[in-house]
Amino acid sequence: MKNKATHFPFTSALFAFALVFFAPLSMTAQNALGCNGSRYLNDIFTDTTMTTVQYGANRNNGQNQNLFMDIVQPKNDTLRLRPLVIWAFGGGFIAGKREDMRQTCQIFSRKGYVTATIDYRLYAFLGIIPDSNAITPTIVKATHDMKAAIRYFKKTVKEDGNPYRIDTSNIIVGGVSAGAITAMLTAQMDSTDPIPTWIRTIIANEGGMEGTSGTPNYRTNVKGAISMSGGMYRKEWLDKGDVPFASFHGTADNVVAYGYGLNVYNFYGDGSGTLAPRALELGIPTVLVTVPGGGHTDIYSSAYLPIWLQKATTFMHNLVCGVSPLPTEDISNQQVNIYPNPSTDDMTLELGDYTEGVKFDLMVVDALGRSVFALKNQSSRLITLRKKDIGTGLFFVRLNFSNQAKPVLKKVVFE
């Protein structure tokens, strides 16, 4: 496959990952990218600027469509070369707009990235949910449009004096839902994959693997991908040497299946839960943050969201800077047991042997991330969670242990 990954280690939120090390960047390369242990990990800029440009055009639903993107940069940044993250919005390929990802662009731009949120062509939705045959040409078009955005930036570097100061060896693509599918296909799919004939025919009819949405003759290889509630048609489209990716997904997603399952457009595909193990088998570095019981969109207002943002931030930093982090623990650590769950009265939280003698803080938060109960500096391996102290509904128990950086999170329900 055309996209060759630079090796680096991560562990999945669900799976025991083997370490795969980056070839370390030279000090000169790290300095050129501003890799100082703070940039890309923390908010080092307080403000951003935005420029809107047309990056391409194509035919869609019988009409010409111009394609625009908003380019967001950290204000007053003087670094000569910076990594780029291109984001695509969600909406099932029938709705959504590039403005939906502006806040995401600003979040990562404040950390030092140049970011962009793109238009892409949508299905002409007339109130009837399309099937797989009807929606697939639009999925192909979206991928072509993201590739055109990549080529646009590479053209500005080569031909226009690099006005956005982009390091073209450090381009990451990402998105939510349909945008995540678009990013994964852009990063991972090529003609060597086992693509069914009917999909190959659609790809050929829409302009081949690269498409015709603008700025031809530039490569569309990227460094990595970020998938939020996304997937691909088949996990077998991941090959040895494909680029690293990080995923965030709920196990009860009924739009894009978490594992191999039926999706909203009546076709079976692979989600994050089966793509991550496939990647591990192939030696592709990957991160998976799983939300037990999470749906397609509710996970973006859950207590897991800060964990995802931290994991994605670390993933991107390490990808850009060539850092080899220590492995992390499973966020759904099975040595933390809460029973009965659900409960109409009290619950017991029982900690395994690995916690013996380790201090920890406990916090219970509701579905909106608000703290409703907390204990500090605990060491007991049996704790009672009382309904009268916490309330009724869905909650998340967060345990911060003194001997590990990442919290353990458990979902509980008081009925």
Radius of gyration of the chain (CA): 22
pLDDT value of residue 304: 83
H or E stretch including 373?
strand 371-378
> What CATH topology corresponds to 336-414?
Immunoglobulin-like (2.60.40)
pLDDT value of residue 328: 35
pLDDT value of residue 330: 37
Tell me the helices (H) and strands (E) count for the chain, helix number first: 8, 18
Cα dihedral 123/124/128/134 (nearest 10): -50
Domain ranges of the chain: 27-321, 336-414
Note the pLDDT tens digit of each residue in 313-344. Answer: 999 999 999 876 423 333 345 468 888 999 99
What is the spatial distance between Cα 386 and Cα 66, in angstroms, rounded to a whole number?
58
- Among candidate residues 312, 291, 57, the one with its CA nearest the CA of residue 183: 312
Complete DSSP assignment for 196-222:
-HHHHHHHHHTTTTT-SSS--SS----
What is the spatial distance between Cα 85 and Cα 63, in angstroms, rounded to a whole number?
29
> What CATH topology corresponds to 27-321?
Rossmann fold (3.40.50)
- Among candidate residues 240, 149, 123, 226, the one with its CA nearest the CA of residue 181: 226
Note the pLDDT tens digit of each residue in 216-233. Answer: 999 999 999 999 999 999
Distances (CA, A) of 7 to 4, 129, 156, 221, 288: 9, 41, 28, 16, 17
Which amino acid makes up residue 208?
Answer: G
What is the spatial distance between Cα 35 and Cα 320, in angstroms, rounded to a whole number?
8
- In contact, 187 and 245? CB cutoff 8 Å: yes
What is the spatial distance between Cα 296 and Cα 270, in angstroms, rounded to a whole number?
15
Burial of 178 (0-12, 13-18, 19+ CB in 10 A): buried
* pLDDT tens over the chain, length 415 residues: 444 333 322 233 333 222 233 344 555 556 678 999 999 999 999 999 999 999 999 999 999 999 999 999 999 999 999 999 999 999 999 999 999 999 999 999 999 999 999 999 999 988 888 889 999 999 999 999 999 999 999 999 999 999 999 999 999 999 999 999 999 999 999 999 999 999 999 999 999 999 999 999 999 999 999 999 999 999 999 999 999 999 999 989 999 999 999 998 988 999 998 998 888 888 888 888 888 889 999 999 888 888 899 889 999 999 999 876 423 333 345 468 888 999 999 999 987 655 566 788 999 988 777 889 999 998 888 899 999 999 999 888 988 877 555 678 888 999 9
pTM: 0.75
pLDDT value of residue 6: 34
- In contact, 20 and 282? CB cutoff 8 Å: no
